[in-house]
């Protein structure tokens, strides 16, 4: 920690999408609490920036689409990297923390920070990066036993003496977003006391999408057998998928797909009694606002399950698990395709039961069963462990 005494301005590098940024927030809080008067800037992707702007621990957001990250191929010139290095040189950064997933290499980001004149550079390393990383932390996963992504990043900053007693995910839901979403729900009749929940059937990676026909069966049973209203979410690019599910379920539903930016989606999830979703960013948004989650979890990776929130993870064991692939390399997608709607429905019921007054958790299940929360729109929700 001695080398970090007096650090006031830190660049936090997290070049993933929104999920990665959200799962890093407990580590950011640890830095804020342990480095007095420290200012944190987040370097992240366009997707990550949407969440980063809503995270109270982050003081400034810098966008950068890294060439070494997954995305469309490009023939761009290195102007973006040259400009970024100059931005670092003039930014007055005392240190950089390079947050990476186990499958990622810190070397390219470390080189940019080195060329940008940032004197302290903390990162996980599998190899000796000599002077590129001034404070290397050995990858414990190299010996087996993969940690949750949140724990991984907390352990990284612990190497420089940064700790926190509050390890929840973090996001700021504005009063305006809450009010606007509440009005939208009221206009659709979702304040009449009938139980409701949110279904997010989308994911950027095909390997993490439960079949649309399975979502349709689940939604139909929730409506017809349990009297529950269903609200679908997704981006504008997900409209065809969502409308196909709504047509196939042959029961009434609501859709906010294409209506909500990240701030309003966080507001919706803050008000929602429960989220059912593929394993994608809304799962972690829900965890950040304290809303229970049923996570239909592809076994492509084991380290992104819901964190510090009541949840159920539904998956199907396969021999090819932990492939880390966006498209199933075996072509069958059995870790999701073999999950029956009955299993997901049972997880919803189990989560409601465990969150009931008899099961603890401050009577949250009673709120779920009685429909929309009857508290003030702007009030805070306590975290439920």
What is residue 126's predicted lDDT score, i.e. its pLDDT?
A: 81
Q: Could you give the residue range(s) of every CATH 3.40.50.2000 domain in the chain? A: 2-158, 175-369
Q: What is the rounded distance in angstroms from the CA atom of residue 302 to the CA atom of residue 68?
A: 23
- Vertex 296: Cα angle to 343 and 202 (nearest 5): 130
Interacting residues of 385 by C-beta distance below 8 A, sequence separation 6+: 308
Interacting residues of 61 by C-beta distance below 8 A, sequence separation 6+: 41, 42, 44, 49, 52, 53
pTM: 0.89
What is residue 384's predicted lDDT score, i.e. its pLDDT?
A: 22
What is residue 92's predicted lDDT score, i.e. its pLDDT?
A: 94
What is residue 54's predicted lDDT score, i.e. its pLDDT?
A: 97
What is residue 355's predicted lDDT score, i.e. its pLDDT?
A: 58
What fold characterizes domain 2-158?
Answer: Rossmann fold (3.40.50)
Task: Choose which CATH entry (3.40.50.720, 3.40.50.920, 3.40.50.2000, 3.40.50.1820) describes domain 175-369.
Answer: 3.40.50.2000
Q: Are 194 and 35 in contact (CB under 8 A)?
A: no
Report which of 337, 336, 275, 342 is spatially closest to residue 306, judged by C-alpha positions: 275
What is residue 144's predicted lDDT score, i.e. its pLDDT?
A: 56
Residues facing residue 284 across a β-bridge: none
Report which of 48, 126, 133, 127 is spatially closest to residue 97, judged by C-alpha positions: 133
- For every residue of 341-375, DSSP letters joined together read HHHHHHHHHHHHHHTSGGG-GGGHHHHHHTSS--S
For residue 107, what are the CA distances in angstroms to 124, 276, 301? 10, 37, 22
- Mean pLDDT, consecutive 10-residue stretches, the chain (385 aa), reads 84 95 98 94 96 97 85 69 94 96 91 96 84 88 75 96 96 95 92 88 91 97 94 96 97 95 97 95 97 93 93 90 82 88 95 58 38 33 24
What is residue 263's predicted lDDT score, i.e. its pLDDT?
A: 96
β 9-13/95-98 pair status: parallel
């Amino acid at each position: 920690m001695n080398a970090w005494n007096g650090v006031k301005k830190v660049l936090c590098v997290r070049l993933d999408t929104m999920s990665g940024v959200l799962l890093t927030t407990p580590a950011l809080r640890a830095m804020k609490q342990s480095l007095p008067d420290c200012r944190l800037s987040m370097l992240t992707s366009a997707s990550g920036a949407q969440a980063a702007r809503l995270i109270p621990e982050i003081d400034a957001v810098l966008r950068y689409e890294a060439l070494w990250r997954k995305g469309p191929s490009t023939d761009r010139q290195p102007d973006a990297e040259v400009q970024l290095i100059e931005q670092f040189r003039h930014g007055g950064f005392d240190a950089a923390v390079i947050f990476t997933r186990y499958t990622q290499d810190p070397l390219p980001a470390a080189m940019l920070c080195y060329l940008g004149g940032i004197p302290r550079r903390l990162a996980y390393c599998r190899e000796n990066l000599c002077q590129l990383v001034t404070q290397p932390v050995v990858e414990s996963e190299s010996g087996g036993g993969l940690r949750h992504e949140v724990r991984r990043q907390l352990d990284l900053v612990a190497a420089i003496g940064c700790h926190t007693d509050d390890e929840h995910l973090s996001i700021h839901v504005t009063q305006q977003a809450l009010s606007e979403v509440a009005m939208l729900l009221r206009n659709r009749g979702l304040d009449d006391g009938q139980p409701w929940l949110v279904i997010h059937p989308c994911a950027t990676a095909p390997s993490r999408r439960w079949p649309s026909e399975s979502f349709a069966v689940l939604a139909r049973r929730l409506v017809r057998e349990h009297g529950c209203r269903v609200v679908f979410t997704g981006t504008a690019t997900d409209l065809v998928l969502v409308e196909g599910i709504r047509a196939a379920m042959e029961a009434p539903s609501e859709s906010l797909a294409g209506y909500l930016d990240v701030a309003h989606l966080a507001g919706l999830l803050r008000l929602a009694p429960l989220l059912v979703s593929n394993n994608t960013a809304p799962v972690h948004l829900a965890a950040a606002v304290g809303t229970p989650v049923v996570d239909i979890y592809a076994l492509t990776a084991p380290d992104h399950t819901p964190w510090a929130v009541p949840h159920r993870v539904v998956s199907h064991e396969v021999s090819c698990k932990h492939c880390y692939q966006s498209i199933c390399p075996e072509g069958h997608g059995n870790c999701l395709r073999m999950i029956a709607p009955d299993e997901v429905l049972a997880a919803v019921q189990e989560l409601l039961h465990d969150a009931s007054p008899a099961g603890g958790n401050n009577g949250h299940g009673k709120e779920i069963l009685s429909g929309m929360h009857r508290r003030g729109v702007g009030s805070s929700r306590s975290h439920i462990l």
